[in-house]
Structure 1
Amino acid sequence: MNSPADVPVALSAFLRGVERRGVVLAELQCGRRETGEIALAASLRAFRQYASDQPMAQWPRGFWSLLAAAPPLRQAHPEARWPQDLDWLADLSDADRMALLLRLAAGLDEDDAAAAMDVDQAAYRAALTRACPRDDAGQPDPQGWRDLAEAVQQHLRALSPERLAHLSRLRETLVLGTDRRAVVPEPEAGDAVRAPSSTPSTAPAVDAPANTRAPVGPRKPAKPFPWTLAVVALVVLCALAAVGAWWWHGQQSRLSAPATVQADGAPGAQGLADEAQVKVEALSSDNDAAARFDAAQGVLTHPDFDLLMDPQGQALSQRAGLLAWYAAAPQDRQRDAAQALAAPPQEAMDVVQ
């Protein structure tokens, strides 16, 4: 944010994100809604000058430091009232209550919360420990802490649209001020309302209030849909589709019709031939193949050439079924099979049976 003209734009976006938490923290710290809004307004006014002099990374700590140091928040209001689910805040000291709300309402970590209160981390932890809800035995109550945190978040979500609109107007008035025109875009030339040049105004110029929105020119009437052009385009597309279909049908008919030959051998018009001309050629006999391939060539090209060249492997493959049965059989069956192999063929068949 080196340019002063860019500060109001970024400042408005930053405050839009923290103003809800800021107003809830201020209200719960002092216990009165009107006093909390006064403290928030004073912090916004001071933060405008702070933001123009500091880098954007320092804005969060600067905003919460200014809000925590606001005079209306240094002590509870004499007419302070807290909701029933947040009545624990009434029994806390002002410093302990601020330490608790910076954690639950503002959502700051220990470093930023301690910097906002202008104390070290040890002092902030001590204040937060004193503000933690306690059980009947005086020990920290985790469930009480969760209930208190949920009650604060519910209070944040319960802000009415009217109050949010009021915060928006407060932000625009106090922060943007006379530089409001820097963040409001100028109307375009076609949308601006021009006064007739023949009747110059003689009334003195009056400055508009800062929170008054700039007048907006009348909107242009919506243009009717061009139905005529759409219908014409549809008709043209249909005509082109019809022409394309007619051309495609003609091409298919011309390609599928057989050609005829005139008497002189010249190609004639499309039509059906009286007699189809078929060329017949006899196939070669087996003797021709035998003349080209001898017995040796037949063995070399045999699919089982490797098996033919290994007689022992061929003999073993023929006995593969018996050997597999022999390997899987019990010992007594293996003994019978061995005897069958050693016996003559007829006796072997008897043993197998």
Structure 2
Amino acid sequence: MNDPSAANAALTAFLRGVERRGAVFAEWQGGDPEAGDAALASTLRGFRDQAGGTAFAEWPRRFWAMLLAAPQLRQAVPKGAGTAPAAVATLGVGPRAALLLRLVAGLAEAEAAAVLGIARPTYRLALQRALPHRGDGSPDPEAWRALSAAAQQAVRALPQERLETIEMLRDGLRPRPPVRQRPAPRDGARRRAGWVWPATVVVLVLVASALGATWWGPWLPGQVPPGAAGIQVEPLPPVEPPAARFDPADALASHRDLDLLLAQATGAFADDADPAFDAWLVTVLEAGEGDEESGATGGEPVDARP
């Protein structure tokens, strides 16, 4: 983009489109919400500095690669840490990243492989290893759908306070400490404070009485006769032209089709975002169901594990 204003509007819209999924991705990948938020804030700050020299189509790959390379996400964490589902938390670092790039980041197969720096067949193999499996080793379609629903719900349910904390970290500000609730007062304290409310009512009544007495005091002048003090009317000056108008370069930020323009760049959840990947996934899951049926009818069960 040659227009700086339009480029800045597009960059702001892109970052707003990925910050929620970035927070969930960092937490589930690293196993620690606070470390994940710090990694996301650092990535947002670094990506804003580098986006000007990067083509718009390369933004998703560059952003998720930077987030995945954050030091906070490369540290070893105990399995099961964080709020990630057990099927995600128990995976290794590589398969977990392959799974989350699809489930949380919403990247197509080619983009996810580019983020990891591997070929598409290798990414498919890593993703197949990360897919939920039944006890006999066959893929579990129901568990896959449950994971997908859990990822989308986690993105939608991210609290606004957490996004504000990430924004403050991104801008180099100290986040506000959490508000601590005061303990409930004891019975003795309640009895000692029982006189506060009646005393407050008495003070308010006295103040109101004093204010009312000022309207009838003998020191006030008598009523002003009608017509003694009129109301002066003066017409307003003619309307002047506005000092400034809306910059047409900022129209991209309020464009009604901005979501559609950035859908591919932000990797928004869509059922038809990657038809080739979806067809492959359906084939893998159906193969697992077919293997289970053949074993139930007396055939030899096939080990679907990669």
TM-score (norm. length: structure 2)? 0.53
Where do residues 75-224 of structure 1 align in structure 2 (5 Å cutoff)?
75-78=75-78, 81-83=81-83, 86-170=85-169, 173=171
* 1:193-250 Cα distance to aligned partner (Å, 9 max, x none): xxxxxxxxxxxxxxxxxxxxxxxxxxxxxxxxxxxxxxxxxxxxxxxxxxxxxxxxxx
Name the counterpart of 1:65: 65
Unaligned runs of 5+ in 2: 173-241, 245-306
CA contact (8 A) 2:40 2:166 kept: no
* 1:81-109 Cα distance to aligned partner (Å, 9 max, x none): 233x7011222110100000000001111
CA contact (8 A) 1:25 1:106 kept: yes
Distance between the aligned counterparts of 1:44 and 1:35, measured in 2?
A: 14
Indicate the larger mover: 20-29 or 67-76.
67-76
Distance between the aligned counterparts of 1:125 and 1:79, measured in 2?
A: 23
* 1:12-33 Cα distance to aligned partner (Å, 9 max, x none): 1110011100111000001100
CA contact (8 A) 1:75 1:94 kept: no
Name the counterpart of 1:42: 42
When residues 52 and 80 of structure 1 are mapped into structure 2, their CA distance, relative to the original with a 3 A threshold, is farther
Unaligned runs of 5+ in 1: 175-187, 191-353
CA contact (8 A) 2:79 2:90 kept: no
When residues 72 and 167 of structure 1 are mapped into structure 2, their CA distance, relative to the original with a 3 A threshold, is closer
* 1:109-132 Cα distance to aligned partner (Å, 9 max, x none): 110100111111111111101111
TM-superposed CA distance for 1:149, in Å, is 1.2
Name the counterpart of 2:2: 2
Q: Which one has a bigger Cα radius of gyration?
A: 1
> What's the secondary structure of 1:124's corresponding residue?
helix
CA contact (8 A) 1:82 1:89 kept: no
The one-letter code matched in structure 1 to 2:112 is: A
Name the counterpart of 1:25: 25
Distance between the aligned counterparts of 1:76 and 1:152, measured in 2?
A: 22
Distance between the aligned counterparts of 1:39 and 1:162, measured in 2?
A: 17
CA contact (8 A) 1:50 1:62 kept: no
Distance between the aligned counterparts of 1:73 and 1:163, measured in 2?
A: 18
Distance between the aligned counterparts of 2:101 and 2:34, measured in 1?
A: 20
The aligned length equals: 175
Distance between the aligned counterparts of 1:10 and 1:105, measured in 2?
A: 22
When residues 66 and 155 of structure 1 are mapped into structure 2, their CA distance, relative to the original with a 3 A threshold, is same
TM-score (norm. length: structure 1)? 0.46
CA contact (8 A) 1:99 1:127 kept: yes
Distance between the aligned counterparts of 2:136 and 2:87, measured in 1?
A: 17
TM-superposed CA distance for 1:168, in Å, is 4.2
The one-letter code matched in structure 2 to 1:142 is: P
Alignment identity in percent?
50
TM-superposed CA distance for 1:161, in Å, is 2.1
TM-superposed CA distance for 1:6, in Å, is 4.4
Name the counterpart of 1:303: none
Distance between the aligned counterparts of 2:95 and 2:169, measured in 1?
A: 29
CA contact (8 A) 2:40 2:67 kept: yes
The Cα RMSD (Å) is 2.3
CA contact (8 A) 1:114 1:124 kept: yes
Distance between the aligned counterparts of 1:80 and 1:72, measured in 2?
A: 17
When residues 79 and 134 of structure 1 are mapped into structure 2, their CA distance, relative to the original with a 3 A threshold, is closer
